[in-house]
Amino acid sequence: RVLIVDFGSQVTQLIARRVREAGVYCEIHPFNRVTVDSIRDFGAKAVILSGGPASVTEAGSPRAPQGLFEMGLPILGICYGQQTLCEQLGGKVEPGHHREFGRAMLKLAEPCALFDGVAAKGDEVQVWMSHGDRVTAIPAGFKVVATSEGAPFAAIANAEKRIYGVQFHPEVVHTPIGKQLLSNFVHKIAGCAGDWTMKAFKAQEIAKVRAQVGSGRVICGLSGGVDSSVVAALLHEAIGDQLTCVFVDTGFMRSGEADQVVSLFRDRFNIKLVHKDASDLFLDKLAGLTDPEKKRKIIGATFIDVFEEEAKAVGGADFLAQGTLYPDVIESVSFTGGPSVTIKSHHNVGGLPERMNMKLVEPLRELFKDEVRELGRELGLPDDMVGRHPFPGPGLAIRIPGQPLTRENLDILRKADAVYLDEIRKAGLYDQIWQAFAVLLPVRTVGVMGDSRSYDYACALRAVTSTDGMTADFYPFDMAFIGRVANRIINEVKGINRVTYDVTSKPPGTIEWE
């Protein structure tokens, strides 16, 4: 396994992704928590030092533990990681005269194991640079193995000690050779086996869950989303009937979704499943409300109440299972305030474990989203379930802005949304889109249908591309496609007589309308 020391780069997670894609397990630890002992305890076979926003030329900027360099482990420093390792081993780093950012051509000056199979001496390859400072003198024992116009020490190596540094970012897709370079580091240089697969992970996680839970009882909130579905399937395989799933049906789900969840998990997987239709209660609690944050708060609190009640009704449990993912767990190094630690709170069941005196089972804590999807497939979940678009906890309740929720307007929205998604699937576009949905607008507009005047709702269609939901762009549908969807919605959904397409990116917009 490989330890990645995080100096706060925005792309540190990508290093972990690439290493895992090479079949080697790795974890990201913040630099201020890493010591020689922690590296040893982790059992690291190699260490990667990430990039970061600080400057090694500033007093008090982060460093790797000095003892790391005496441990005999292979080390790869990336960007800031290269600069700090140079500085710590007696080289020199100076503020760059110009910042080098974006595409650069790298020229190989020496044969080097890092570049095995990708480039030979004299070759030029494209890499992605993003740095202000640069190394101006390398430590004793090191050789320059590659140069670029802005970075005369773009890659350096001490092959004997197996310590390497690169000024560019091998982890990003704009460095096409990067994947092979990282694979060379973990396999050829560090000698890691590359046998970490999802099948192996599944077996290991099942064993872990069994050891943690023993003969205890576990309760799991199932929403029909990818994460909770994978947790449920995994736990069921691990502990069978010791697991009970509770599906709190808010009434804000999409068309047919509640039935799908019940038939998949209860009928096909044979999981003990409580399906609580709480739609009346949710509608009651939200009666007359339009403020998005108030709605969210009430939905969250009501969800917890219902979940707790249902959990008690089945006799309680010792453990609560949650679909927490690795990006929620990584203690990231903040960019401005020094080594502060942020951990995102997760899921609708916040506060429940304490309230009900339950311990947590979080079998996805080490996985990225697409690894969760792969694990889902490994567990036999259908493709359309594991490939599903994200869907917010409050569901359709935050897609009817500006007017109080009623069964009627929820039904209208649900129908329009179903037509839209159906057309997206038929056009083969579903997997190219991060998220697509309809929004019911609080305006009525005049239309003419047949020989009569109509005065009905307008709806907006939204579809975005994104990699993490933090930024997004609207999906550039063909106008003919939008026209087809609009036509079907107006013809098939009573209550809507006008359709618009939302072309706002995020920022400045958000993905949802409220």
Kind and range of the H or E run holding 375: helix 369-378
Residues 372, 364 contacting (CB under 8 angstroms): yes
Q: Is 459 marked active-site?
A: no
Residue 305 within binding range of ligand XMP, rule CB under 6 A = no
Residue 397 within binding range of ligand XMP, rule CB under 6 A = no
Residue 276 within binding range of ligand XMP, rule CB under 6 A = no
224 annotated as belonging to a binding site for a ligand = yes
Phi, psi of 41 (to 5 degrees): -60, -35
Phi, psi of 68 (to 5 degrees): -55, -40
Residue 296 within binding range of ligand XMP, rule CB under 6 A = yes
Residue 435 within binding range of ligand XMP, rule CB under 6 A = yes
DSSP strands (E only) in 22-166: 26-30, 46-49, 75-78, 92-94, 100-108, 124-131, 134-137, 143-147, 155-158, 163-166
50 annotated as belonging to a binding site for a ligand = no
Binding mask 438-477 for ligand XMP (x = CB under 6 A): -------------------------------x--------
Binding mask 361-390 for ligand XMP (x = CB under 6 A): -----------------------------x
Phi, psi of 392 (to 5 degrees): -70, 150
- How many residues sit close enough to ligand XMP to count as binding (CB under 6 A)? 11
223 annotated as belonging to a binding site for a ligand = yes
- Candidate segments 25-33, 56-64, 355-363, 504-512, binder of ligand XMP by CB under 6 A: 504-512
- 26, 29, 86, 169: which one is catalytic? 169
First to last CA, the chain: 43
37 annotated as belonging to a binding site for a ligand = no
380 annotated as belonging to a binding site for a ligand = no
Residue 511 within binding range of ligand XMP, rule CB under 6 A = yes
Considering beta carbons, is residue 84 or 435 the nearer one to ligand XMP? 435
Residue 393 within binding range of ligand XMP, rule CB under 6 A = yes
Quick check: helix, strand or coil at residue 16? Answer: helix
Distance CA 23, CA 162 (A): 21
Beta strands 143-147 and 272-277 are unpaired
Residue 392 within binding range of ligand XMP, rule CB under 6 A = yes
Which among 161, 126, 154 has a CA at the least distance from the CA of 138?
Answer: 154
Contacts of 268 (CB under 8 A, 6+ apart): none
CB of 85: closest distance to ligand XMP in angstroms? 37
Task: Extract the annotated binding site.
Answer: 223-229
Task: Extract the annotated binding site for ATP.
Answer: 223-229
Residues of this chain that bind ligand XMP (CB under 6 A): 296, 390, 392-394, 435, 469, 506, 510-512
